[in-house]
Chains A and B, each alone.
Chain A
Amino acid sequence: MAEEDGKLVGVIGDEDTVTGFLLAGVGHRTMEGANFLVVKNDTPLSLVEETFNRLTERDDIGIVLINQHIANDIRHVIKNYTQTIPTVLEIPSKDHPYDPEADSIMQRVNLMTGGQM
């Protein structure tokens, strides 16, 4: 977005997660599309992948929040994602507790420290 210098926060998550963050005020929907995606059980994986790629390619987005169970579904895409900005952040969801072992960043952290923190 040209009119604001700040960057947006993108969200890919289940309905509850997206609702919560939209309440907090991250939602942004314009002519080009929204910066969030509600992933339901019947949402095709290709759409999730495509949305992830679209969000990470946009230059007005600084952070992409993604539910961990969804991140696990498109792990191959996330593994290949090497850019620094936007940052992809895996967050817990309502139905799936957070598992530090599955997080790609945490895996690297554990690799460096030998798992002792």
Chain B
Amino acid sequence: MSGAIVAPTRMALTMYKTKRVGAKKGYELLKKKSDALKVRFRDIMKDIARTKGNMADQGSSAFFSLTQAQYAAGDFRQQVLQGSLTASVRVHTHTDNVAGVKLPVFRQYELQSEVKSKSDRDNLGLAQGGRQIKACKEKFTVFLTNLVRLASLQTSFITLDEALKVTNRRVNALENVTIPRIEAILAYINRELDELEREDFTRLKKVQGSKRTAQAAAEAAEEALHKAAAAAGARSSKIEGGLVKDVTAQYDTAGDSDIVF
């Protein structure tokens, strides 16, 4: 267990408790974010499916108007394709923020300054079919507008997909790895602390017990001493007398044959 690395101290316990609170909070927040993204994601998916369906219809109507224009004005495709061109339609990207995820959104706008290049093609269908070409142009402009919208949706879709994956990975990591690990460490620290406490308790008891026996022994010894002292009070002079007698008897030469004088 990785928790074994942690020193089982009260400080570590407090630290990991704080960590657990943080992890739980983060998990909740990320879960919320993931849910918010999911809602948006589903909306976008539905929008894409619908817009793509419309796109097919709009596309065919645009191509039909192009065919009409060609029928009226002759084949003008080469005239359109050739020459120097400057785009009058540009897309502008700005970002949309969904729960902290930045989604790029395209906005289409017309460049007004390109009068010259436009005048080139304004001659198209001057003789005949000008109206059809104009209609065709409008159809394609509308088609393009829709495509730009679709492109925004699609970009958002891809970005959200990525963001969702990352968020879900984080949510799962917190839920299944980080929080259980912290819990395990906490449990380990608690166990160790309990064990320490029990050890301490036992030791205290032991010390107390041995102290008590020592005290009892000391008391008993003292008592015995007192008793002995009390009992010996009368005897002490006799012993002393005997002792003196004995000591002098040591130097009594009467019973010793080795002493000649």
Contacts and interface: CB of A to CB of B under 8 A. Distances in A.
Give the interface size bracket for A toward B: 35 or more
Interface string B48-71: 110011011001101100110000
Given A23-B133, A105-B48, A28 B86 contact: yes
A94 interface: yes
A7 B77 contact: no
A117 B46 contact: yes
Contacts of B62: 20
B81 A18 contact: yes
B189 interface: no
Majority-rule SS of B interface residues: helix
A4 interface: yes
A26 B144 CA distance: 9
B109 interface: yes
B188 interface: no
Given A7-B91, A92-B56, A105-B154, A24 B77 contact: no
A78 to B, nearest CB: 13
A23 B56 contact: no
Contact of A9 (B85, B87, B133): B87
A6 B90 CA distance: 5
Interface in B137-190: 137, 139-141, 143-144, 147-148, 150-151, 154-155, 157-159, 161
Given A9-B144, A62-B106, A97-B56, A24 B89 contact: yes
B111 A108 contact: no
Contact of A19 (B77, B83, B109): B77
Contact of B87 (A23, A35, A89): A35
B63 A94 contact: yes
B150 A89 contact: yes
B88 A62 contact: no
A88 B219 CA distance: 99
Contacts of A21: 140, 144
A63 B81 contact: no
A25 B124 CA distance: 14
B144 A16 contact: no
B161 to A, nearest CB: 7
Interface of A: 4-9, 15-30, 34-35, 38, 62-63, 65, 84-85, 87, 89, 91-94, 97-98, 100, 103, 105-106, 108-109, 112-113, 117
Given A9-B144, A24-B140, A91-B55, 9 more contacts: A6-B90, A6-B111, A9-B148, A20-B66, A20-B143, A25-B87, A29-B83, A91-B147, A93-B59
